[in-house]
Amino acid sequence: MSIEASMILPNGEVDSISLPEDEESRLRQLQDLVGGYIEVVALPGERHMVINENGKDGPHMINHTATTIAHEAEAIMPTDYIAGVAVILPAEVLQ
């Protein structure tokens, strides 16, 4: 069995993905997807957005779609933005 999530690429493409049930495997896959240590951004509706904790260090691409979602949720400051890949998943997955 797997956990359904949405992956938002910096180019705006959104893909449905499956994450493993096993916590260690799931963390490893999330780190691989976002390209580093994860940072969790709380969203309404019992959802979380997982991003790269250091996504703005060095060259990066702004993820306008993920940034819009985070701004609408008032989850980040109005002047802040999301860089790189973002994954949206149910909040209970990260409990």
pLDDT tens by residue, 6-29 = 999 999 999 999 999 999 999 999
Distances (CA, A) of 46 to 28, 42, 67, 83, 90: 22, 8, 18, 22, 6
Q: Is the pLDDT of residue 50 over 90?
A: yes
| pLDDT category of residue 2 using cuts at 50, 70 and 90 | confident
The pTM score is 0.94
CA distance 80 to 22: 32
Q: Give the pLDDT of residue 58.
A: 87
Looking at residue 33, its pLDDT comes to 98
- Identify the pLDDT of residue 95: 73
**Six-digit token pair at 44?**
């309404």
Sign, CA torsion 84/81/64/18: positive
Interval 61-95: pLDDT, tens: 999 999 999 999 999 999 999 999 999 999 998 87
